[in-house]
């Protein structure tokens, strides 16, 4: 699409958006919702499988820049839904379809914002995978677009719908085990190195320019393509954004006062034992400090790492009584200090010092976390329910929540890349007086794939 055509598209979409910003009527549960799946290599295939379990939903369109994926995708969708979907390479063409109600975005991180904004401008609802965007500014623009065009936009932080996570979050939020002063998330997920792969010619059927989109142009390499894009700064949000965001989101869900950004951020780490093309770190440890003095810690790595508390991925909430953990299907642990008995130590000052210097901590199971008395609803069903009702307040993870959780990932990455502790202003979403850090809140876009200032 030329720049002139894109301007026409955006202008037309904006006019259409103005028309739909008026109150939308609720849709009948019996009315079919037509979906378009954008990105069908990995997660997108799961999308059309998951939505096949939701009543009166049909995947009518598939969109991907790799046309080689269409034969399998079309066959699988036809088997699930009884009709062949139409295929598109360019999402902008698909968004012109009047019989398209909503899209799901399962593309690489660097495309999430534009796909979501374009869809909102075209009057379509959106389910967008985590992390919701490539950089912090994009997340704010996605929220603005969703509100301006009155769209239902669900962030794909789908674990918010898991019953035990919801029960654990409610337990923590209501301070049933005491007030939380610190939380920690860990993601120890080993991954094989991607190795070194030379540049090569672009395979037939692959629109490489559109795959790169907003990112700088680089010659084709298999390592930069399907899933390999996770390991490069141009297209990735690192493992912090890839999987750390799930656990940061669980912490925010449970810790009710974490509806604002932190004010101090640090992040250390590195790229260790690397003999591959990868350029993002494979170990990061971040800390987020809030106005009230509370702290969230995050540690992620792709390297072999022993578990903590018997888990390799999960969250911990620390209170005066002990801690709440996602281990053992969400449980509590009481931690009590006990003085070490030293019968051979003389009584008096020396004995007191010894008892204070070498205490023991006894751990034992704490009170159980009860299940919630609520019907189980999948993230996919919740999205469709809200598409029908037009009630964004009923979304389990509205785009604003997705932006707030994903912003933590971006703040960690910015602190890592600058190599120092950062001070952040939650109100303006900027680093006061820090030009270097502020530059990393956005990116230099490759025309015409530009996230605009005015959505």
- The predicted-structure confidence for 177-215, as pLDDT tens digits, reads as follows 999 999 999 999 999 999 999 999 999 999 999 999 999
Give CA–CA dist 186/344, Å, rounded.
Answer: 42
Give CA–CA dist 362/367, Å, rounded.
Answer: 16
450 in any annotated domain = no
172 in any annotated domain = yes
440 in any annotated domain = no
18 in any annotated domain = yes
103 in any annotated domain = yes
Q: Which residues contact 224 (CB under 8 A, 6 or more apart)?
A: 218, 232, 234, 235, 277
Co-location of 145 and 40 in the same domain: yes
Co-location of 157 and 270 in the same domain: no
Q: Which residues contact 319 (CB under 8 A, 6 or more apart)?
A: 175, 177, 178, 179, 180, 181
pLDDT of residue 6: 42
> Residue 404 burial (CB < 10 Å; 0-12/13-18/19+)?
buried
Q: How confident is the model at residue 117 (pLDDT cuts 50, 70, 90)?
A: very high
- Calculate mean pLDDT across residues 126-130: 98
Per the listing, tokens 């923590």 go with: 172
Co-location of 220 and 355 in the same domain: yes
- Calculate mean pLDDT across residues 389-408: 98
Q: 381: which 2 tokens?
A: 């069903």
Q: How confident is the model at residue 350 (pLDDT cuts 50, 70, 90)?
A: low
Co-location of 203 and 130 in the same domain: no
Co-location of 391 and 302 in the same domain: no
Task: Name the helix (H) or strand (E) containing 353.
Answer: helix 349-357
pLDDT of residue 337: 83
Q: Domain boundary at 311, 343, 365, which?
A: 365
Per-residue H/E/C for 106-149? CCCHHHHHHHHHHHHHCCCEEEECCCCCCCHHHHHHHHHHHHHC
pLDDT of residue 12: 47
74 phi and psi, to 5 degrees?
-60, -45
- The predicted-structure confidence for 17-67, as pLDDT tens digits, reads as follows 444 444 456 777 779 999 999 999 989 999 999 999 999 999 999 999 999
DSSP 32-63: PEEEEEE--SSHHHHHHHHHTTSTTEEEEEEE
- Mean residue pLDDT of the chain comes to 92
Q: How confident is the model at residue 344 (pLDDT cuts 50, 70, 90)?
A: low
Report the Cα–Cα distance between both ends of the chain, in Å, rounded: 19
340 in any annotated domain = yes
**Does 412 score more than 80 pLDDT?**
yes
**Does 281 score more than 50 pLDDT?**
yes
Co-location of 345 and 386 in the same domain: no
pLDDT of residue 10: 44
19 in any annotated domain = yes
- CATH classification of the domain holding 206: 3.30.360.10
Q: Pseudo-torsion of CA 166, 170, 176, 180, nearest 10°?
A: 100
Q: How many domains does the chain have?
A: 2
Co-location of 179 and 136 in the same domain: no
Q: How confident is the model at residue 258 (pLDDT cuts 50, 70, 90)?
A: confident
Co-location of 152 and 169 in the same domain: no
Co-location of 174 and 58 in the same domain: no
Q: For the chain, what percent of residues have pLDDT higher than 70?
A: 91
Give CA–CA dist 30/279, Å, rounded.
Answer: 49
Give CA–CA dist 352/273, Å, rounded.
Answer: 48
Co-location of 146 and 167 in the same domain: no
Find the domain containing 285 and state its range: 163-365
Q: Which residues contact 181 (CB under 8 A, 6 or more apart)?
A: 293, 294, 295, 318, 319
- Calculate mean pLDDT across residues 323-331: 96
DSSP 220-262: --GGGSTTGGGGSTTT--HHIIIIIHHHHHHHHHHSTT--S--
Co-location of 313 and 233 in the same domain: yes
pLDDT of residue 256: 80
445 in any annotated domain = no
- CATH classification of the domain holding 58: 3.40.50.720
Co-location of 84 and 112 in the same domain: yes
pLDDT of residue 311: 85
């Amino acid at each position: 699409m030329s720049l002139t055509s894109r301007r026409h598209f955006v202008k037309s979409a904006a006019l259409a958006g103005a028309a739909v910003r008026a109150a939308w009527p609720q849709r009948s549960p019996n009315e079919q919702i037509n979906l378009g799946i954008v990105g069908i290599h990995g997660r997108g295939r799961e999308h059309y499988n998951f939505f096949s379990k939701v009543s009166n939903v049909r995947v009518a369109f598939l969109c991907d820049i790799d046309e080689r994926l269409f034969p399998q995708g079309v066959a699988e969708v036809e088997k699930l839904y009884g009709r062949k979907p139409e295929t598109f390479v360019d999402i902008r063409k698909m968004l012109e379809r009047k019989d398209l109600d909503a899209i799901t975005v399962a593309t690489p991180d660097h495309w999430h914002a534009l796909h979501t904004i374009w869809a909102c401008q075209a009057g379509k609802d959106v389910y967008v995978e985590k992390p919701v965007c490539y950089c912090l500014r994009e997340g704010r623009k996605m929220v603005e677009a969703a509100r301006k065009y009155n769209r239902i936009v669900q962030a794909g932080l789908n674990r918010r719908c898991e019953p035990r996570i919801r029960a654990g979050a409610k337990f923590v939020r209501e301070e049933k085990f005491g007030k939380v002063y610190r939380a920690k998330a860990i993601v120890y997920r080993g991954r094989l190195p991607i190795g070194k792969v030379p540049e090569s010619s672009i395979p037939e059927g692959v629109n490489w320019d559109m795959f790169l989109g907003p990112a700088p142009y680089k010659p084709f390499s298999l390592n930069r393509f399907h899933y390999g894009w996770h390991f490069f700064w141009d297209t990735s949000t690192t493992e912090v954004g890839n999987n750390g965001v799930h656990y940061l989101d669980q912490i925010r869900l449970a810790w009710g006062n974490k509806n604002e950004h932190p004010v101090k951020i640090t992040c250390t780490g590195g790229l260790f034992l690397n003999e591959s093309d990868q350029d993002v770190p494979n170990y990061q440890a971040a800390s987020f400090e809030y106005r009230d003095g509370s702290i969230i810690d995050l540690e992620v790595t792709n390297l072999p790492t022993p578990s903590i508390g018997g888990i390799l991925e999960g969250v911990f909430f620390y209170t005066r009584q002990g801690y709440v953990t996602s281990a053992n299907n969400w449980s509590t642990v009481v931690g009590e200090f006990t003085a070490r008995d030293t019968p051979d130590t003389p009584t008096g000052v020396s004995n007191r010092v010894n008892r204070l210097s070498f205490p023991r901590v006894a751990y034992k199971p704490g009170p159980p976390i009860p299940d919630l008395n609520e019907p189980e609803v999948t993230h996919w069903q919740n999205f469709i329910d809200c598409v029908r009702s037009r009630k964004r307040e009923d979304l389990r993870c509205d785009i604003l929540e997705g932006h707030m959780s994903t912003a933590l990932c971006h703040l960690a990455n910015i602190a890592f890349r600058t190599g120092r502790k950062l001070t952040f202003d939650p109100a303006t979403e900027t680093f006061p007086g820090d030009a270097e850090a502020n530059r990393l809140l956005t990116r230099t876009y490759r025309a015409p794939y530009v996230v605009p200032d005015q959505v």
